[in-house]
Each structure stands twice: as structure tokens, then as C-alpha cells.
Amino acid sequence: MKIIIMENDIYSAEGLKFLSGRCGLITEEIEIVTSIHALKDSLSHTKFDRIITRIQGCDENIGDWLGLLADFPTYFAQEKVITWEPTGSKRLTLLSGKTFITPKNIDKNGRIADILHQISLFLMPGKIPSEANTPSAKLSMKEMKILSMLCTGDTPKIISALTKMPVKTISLHKTRAIKKFGVKNLTELLFY
């Protein structure tokens, strides 16, 4: 199954991709884009089975989304779009008349492990994992803490949790903090 994730915060997107592996999804089949324009470009030359997106800033870029609906109607008509932002989903549904699927039981903080668990259930019908095999159960407390912060895109707090460096210092020197540990991005830091 080929999946495309649109998340305009690259750290949250990387976190989604990292955790998707823990959910048993095939990460090689997941493409991440960080803007609606990049999403449109990818959809133009690749056929995906599902689009996963938070649909942020609906009020600001609703024209872009409606343009996407017009250009790629089959994705929306066949309910292949998943969003975990109920408010944005309802607003788009109201304006477009199309149906968006919002996974159930996602709390308003949108914890990333629960998001992926719900999405994995939707993507793999008939293969509902037992409670012991949920992403939340598989992850260590350290990973859960980091991934929960990834969902908010709060880079300084994530690095602080990993390095014990003050958040204020990291806010000013994010790149330096990552370089200190010889990694390229936060996904690699998760394995530190």
C-alpha cells in the first residue's frame, strides 16, 4: 500500500514515518510532503492508496484544498483521505461536500502514537492488533515522551529531553544541538 503524508512540520512528519514502522506499516511505501503544493505535485505522477493529512490552516488555504479536490476527485470520492484534525475535516466537508475520514478516539492533543494506531486500524481492516501490540505498548516511555512532543513540532523540547540541554539554549542553537550528536535530523536522535 502506498501512502502519502502531508504534514507541514517536518519533525512531526518524520515522527509519523518513524512510528509507522513501529505500527507494522511499510515505511518504504510512505512518502512525506510538507506542503499542499508538494502534495499536488506527487499526486500528479504517483498513484497512492491513501492520503493522510492534518489539514492545517484551513481558513487560510481553503482555496488550495478545493483546487486539490477538483484536480483529484477520485481520492476524495472513494474516501481515501484520512485526517486527524476533526475541526478542519468538518470545515472542508462543509465547503466541498466531500467526505473526509477522521479516525475515532483521538484526543484533542492528538498524541502521535494513538494517531498512528487508529490509522493502522483503518489501513489494515481485519488485522486489528491486540491491546498488547498497540504502538503505545510497543514504545518505551522515553520514546512516547519524545514522540508526543514531535506531534506538536516542539523541536527545542524534544532535543532538551534527549540531551538534557536547557530549552532556551536549544531554541537559539537547534542546528548546533543536532550537530553535537553527529546526526542529521530528529528521527536519528530518537535512536540516540
| Domain at 11, CATH number | 3.40.50.2300
Residue 24's alpha-carbon distances to 21, 116, 169, 170, 189, in angstroms, are 5, 10, 36, 33, 21
- What contacts 184, CB < 8 A, 6 or more positions away? 178
The whole-number pLDDT of residue 43 equals: 92
Q: Are 153 and 12 in contact (CB under 8 A)?
A: yes
How many structural domains is the chain composed of?
2
Please tell me whether residues 119 and 158 are part of one structural domain.
no
Residues 88 and 172 in one domain: no
Q: Which residues of the chain have pLDDT under 50?
A: 125-137, 139, 144, 147-148, 150-153, 186-187, 189-192
Query: What local confidence, expressed as pLDDT, does residue 155 receive?
Result: 55
Residue 147, domain member (yes or no): no
Evaluate whether residue 165 is within a structural domain.
yes
Residue 123 within any structural domain of the chain: yes
Distance of CA 101 to the CA centre of its chain: 15
Residues 42 and 129 in one domain: yes
Which residue stretches of the chain are H helix? 10-22, 36-45, 58-71, 73-77, 86-96, 112-123, 135-138, 141-152, 155-163, 167-172, 174-180, 186-189
Q: Which residue type does 40 have?
A: K
Looking at the domain assignment, is residue 60 inside a domain?
yes
Same domain, 130 and 158: no
Residue 191 pLDDT = 42
The whole domain housing 128 covers 3-135
Do residues 131 and 161 share a domain? no
Same domain? For 117 and 35 the reply is yes
- Say yes or no: 122 and 180 in one domain: no
Instruction: For residue 19, give the nearest of 84, 158, 116 by alpha carbon.
Output: 116
User: Given this model, what pLDDT does residue 4 score?
Assistant: 85
In a domain, 148, yes or no: no
Give the separation between CA 115 and CA 49, rounded to whole angstroms: 18
Q: Computed over its alpha carbons, how large is the radius of gyration of the chain?
A: 17
Task: Please give the single-letter amino acid code of residue 106.
Answer: I
